[in-house]
Structure 1
Amino acid sequence: MFGTLYYNPAFARSNWLLALSEFLDIKLEGKVSYESPEFNKLFPLERTPAFISSNGFKLTESLAIAYYLVNKSKNPEFSGITEEEKASNWKWYSFITSDMINLVSAILDDSNSDKNLNKLSENFEKNLQYIDDYLSKNKSLVSDSIVICDIFARCFFIMIKGFKLDYSKYENINRFIEDVSIHPIFSKILSKN
């Protein structure tokens, strides 16, 4: 066993990492964080995802865990082949996990004033337009091959659809989601959730 991944099945940052490890042929034990009494002792901030290797190495943050898994696998090109592709992969992953997920969390926060909610929604639409414009000239986020940030992005878009955030007018994003959805990792992701 390579290690244990603590995750929350409802969170896009963590609910797909077990499928990623399976796709990469890395054996992880998956534990739902709030069902695991040892979780808060191992990870006092109680944030998911959280990973602990069989030798005790601890790692948090979705991007860091994904990076570690890909680079420990026999398939490191899943984050890109060239240095430019790898850098672009982690750039897009970071953008989605920080800018986009944080915006969604802020939009869904019930304590927002109407003025604040309008500003957050404008920023969200601006980011969606940025992604859609980029995808109007590119098949996916990095190259013609699907890499890890594409998988994560698709998980993010499916998550926000569940929150009733509408992105249907963004044709290139919707085409991208369809294209990425055929990747074999999604049969693994669906079986994990």
Structure 2
Amino acid sequence: MRALVAEDQALLRVGLVRILEISGIRVTAAVQTAAELEEALTDEQLDIAIVDVRLPPTFTTEGLAAVVHARTVRPGLPVLVLSQFVEPLYARELLAAGRGAVGYLLKDRVVDIDGFVAAVHQVAGGGTVLDPEVVAGLVSARPLHRLTERERQVLTLMAEGRSNTAIAARLFVTEKAVDKHINNIFIKLDLPPTADDNRRVLAVVAWLNA
């Protein structure tokens, strides 16, 4: 696997490169500015881009904007955003295409190296990995008055990529109850039900971006 790392903090950038390389992932570029990132994203052999939201020169949303643009040029380019900040507007835009291969994790909540590497592989393989706080920001970004409180809880866990079994365990209910809630969610949000976890996450996120 070929990975790109874009991070302006030197210690964190070096740390990410070492973690990835120890895990058998080849880092083809480790950059620290938006201009360097834009150039590195032109690598057609790139398997995943791991990018901070805020990069020089303005430290606003250069990193996220660069990968959003890159995915218009190369649809489905796997991108894992690793940041201290939640940027709902760009996060929704990144997810809106509905192609998967997207992750958004908050730096201060990534405490498990194995979990981080697993997230890299999941995104590179076309999956979706979202931090619960990012999901909460997306869900709360538009009113879900048609859903009950329990259905909103299930929707949030669905958007995190959790299976029905995992949702049932988290909410201390049966899988049959989860199935019922999900069916109600699809009906109320005019979304066709599907057994594919990744596709249903993308469907929910696409609705949130509609």
Which one has a larger percent helix, Structure 1 or Structure 2? 1
Both proteins in one fold, TM over 0.5: no
The one of the two structures with greater contact order (alpha-carbon pairs below 8 A, sep at least 6) is: 1
